[in-house]
Structure 1
Amino acid sequence: MKKLFLFLLLTTLTFSSDSIRVVSTSQFTTEMLLAIGAEDYLIGTSFLDDEILPELQQKYNKIPVLAAGAPTKELFYSLNPTFLTGWQSIATPKNLGTIEELKENGVEVFFTKSQKTSNIDDIYEDILYFGKRFNLEKNANQVVKNMKSEIEEVKSKNLGKKKIKIFAYDSQESAPFVIGGNGIGNTMMEIAGAENIFRKSSFSFGTGSWEKILDENPLAIIVIDYGDKSYESKIDFLKNRSPISELEAVKKDRFIRIPLSYLSSGIKVSKGIEKISEGLSEEQK
């Protein structure tokens, strides 16, 4: 009888309606939650693009990694989750189920507004939402304050300077996969003092053309570092086999290395802007 009572007590404590059990399926939402101090709510993460911020690493190491990509539905539900956030693409029949299905199974779903916009203010709103939802509003406000301060510092440094023409190379060889004009990456480049040659395109990430790059002759190239294809292999392609190998920027190694997570709609955006700005400053010397 005592064992049964203990079991019921533990079950009530662990899975009560007041208990929030969060699964985060993107690095940017994981880092948002860790930055505001919500690590005790996290029961699993996935989709790590690259390294977690060093100041968050210790917290991150204590949270189970469910999968490199999408966790299985069986694993997800075995954890008794009550809250899901991350990439919106996770809520499909092939992954964890539709939003409606998740809600029917008792899972609250929140997908950040900022992953579909080019407005940094939307990132702030997402962070503040998490702060309110997890009763960590003071922490969330401080994170936003720090980000704004870092961005304002970059803006002040670039005040009055001429924009530097660049583009951001993600991958692909037949035609370059690049950052376009309809996402947070383009906004970051603008704040950092750059002019994205693909800024007039309607996509966030999409296929550009080698011909346009040759015509525009950018001064520098952001090379996005992530995944199975190394940064070094991308540089090797651009320098030795690509149609733009004779560009001045390529021949003079004017490459700015940016990890993918610094170009995602999360807390690293301010630091990503700093990295781009610093890279451009190096090329101007």
Structure 2
Amino acid sequence: MKKSVLLLLAIVCLTMTSAFAKDTQGITVDVCGQPVTFPTNPKQVIVHDINMTEMMLTLGLDDRIKAISGISGWYKTSERSQVLLKRYHEISPKSPTLENILVQSPDMFFAGWNYGMRMGGEVTPQSLARFNIPTYILSESCIHQNKAKNVGAAAENQAANIALLYNDISNLGKIFQVEDKAHQVIADWKKTLERIQIEQKAKQVKPLKVFVYDSGDDKPFTAGKFGMPTALISAAGGKNIADDIEASWGTIPWEIVAARNPDLIIMVDYNQQTSQDVMAKLRAIPAVANTAAVINNQIITLGYEALTPGPANIHAVEIISAQINAMHQQKQSH
């Protein structure tokens, strides 16, 4: 009996020691190929942009967000963004300064390259580390860091994929000790996407060509190889006509759009213009007026948060897939 009690005490002590070590040492996860240690279960987090804020909310981490940034200054005036702006203090309408962040005394910063941080800028993981603030970097944006560090061609040439979103959710689950929730969220998303992919494969048709139009008159600003829309379009049964452009987002000539003749246009909706406005603009551009998408008036609108890495990506795939299916049915009926 005495031995059993002593053994039980030893186990309890060992468990408490392990828990204490975990709390004092923090949680280490891979961030853009490098190990980064975060305090166990951060409680004062600054989150940049609507898509990353929604990742936190999806995991039930509402109360861990101390402040947000980068929403009101980029025309993201959707109902969802307005709810966030009412709920959380926005420290900067666009990219925050180092001072904006330090005055909040956060225990973590969640952002990405070209999502609140830029290579060589004032706010970087290195500049924040000097003040003991660890940074979690959005996985989709790691490509910018890889290129700057001249990482091998294999890393540079990998197109965006939805696994990058899963990686962020999994890592956040570890950092905030909500791993079960993270696993469930990912499992649910995978089920949805698997269903869509099975439906698309059953049709045995060639993927429709899709053009993402963000903005621009002289040249369109669109999503390239490393941008999340490329992954979403592929999952929905389409092909991004700019998926060979070595960029996340960038401009291409209208002549390239015309030559690749998209079947469908995805308009990034900033609530500044309607799809009818965009179509009228495209009809007035001789280079693209005769593309299939413009002639057939095939356009859908998706919000910024649906096309940047975040929970809204899954519903975006459903919307794109539904439109592609409707277009296939239209062709068959004719």
Q: TM-score, normalised by structure 2?
A: 0.71
1:7 maps to none
Deviation at residue 17 of structure 1 after TM alignment? 9.3
2:147 maps to none
Counterpart amino acid of residue 24 in structure 1: V
Are the structure 2 counterparts of residues 75 and 196 from structure 1 closer, same or farther at C-alpha, using a change threshold of 3 Å? Answer: closer
**1:42 aligned onto 2:65:** yes
Q: Deviations over 1:238-274 (max 9, x none)?
A: 1334531233421331112121211112222211111
Bigger Cα Rg: 2
Structure 2 gaps, min length 5:
1-38, 144-158
Q: Percent identity?
A: 24
Deviation at residue 80 of structure 1 after TM alignment? 1.6
1:23 maps to 46
1:69 to 86, 94, 106: 94
Deviation at residue 123 of structure 1 after TM alignment? 1.4
**1:266 aligned onto 2:310:** yes
Cα distance in 1 between the residues matched to 2:177 and 2:131? 24
**1:112 aligned onto 2:133:** no
Are the structure 2 counterparts of residues 93 and 128 from structure 1 closer, same or farther at C-alpha, using a change threshold of 3 Å? Answer: closer
Which segment is superposed worse, 58-67 or 166-175? 58-67
Give 1:56-135 correspondences, 5 Å limit: 61-89=86-114, 90-91=116-117, 97-115=123-141, 116=143, 118-135=160-177
Are the structure 2 counterparts of residues 246 and 162 from structure 1 closer, same or farther at C-alpha, using a change threshold of 3 Å? Answer: closer
Q: TM-score, normalised by structure 1?
A: 0.82
2:178 maps to 136
Q: Deviations over 1:166-219 (max 9, x none)?
A: 211121111222222233211211111112222222222222222222223222
Aligned to 2:183, the other structure's residue is in SS state helix
Are the structure 2 counterparts of residues 146 and 17 from structure 1 closer, same or farther at C-alpha, using a change threshold of 3 Å? Answer: closer
8 Å CA contact retained: 1:34, 1:60? no
Which segment is superposed worse, 131-140 or 111-120? 111-120
Moved over 6 A (4+): 57-60
Deviation at residue 91 of structure 1 after TM alignment? 4.1
Counterpart amino acid of residue 167 in structure 2: E
Counterpart amino acid of residue 132 in structure 2: G
Cα distance in 2 between the residues matched to 1:102 and 1:190? 36
1:169 to 195, 210, 213: 213
Cα distance in 2 between the residues matched to 1:59 and 1:142? 24
Which segment is superposed worse, 58-67 or 69-78? 58-67
1:154 maps to 196
Are the structure 2 counterparts of residues 152 and 18 from structure 1 closer, same or farther at C-alpha, using a change threshold of 3 Å? Answer: closer
8 Å CA contact retained: 1:238, 1:244? yes
Are the structure 2 counterparts of residues 227 and 86 from structure 1 closer, same or farther at C-alpha, using a change threshold of 3 Å? Answer: farther
Q: Deviations over 1:11-35 (max 9, x none)?
A: xxxxx99763100012221111110
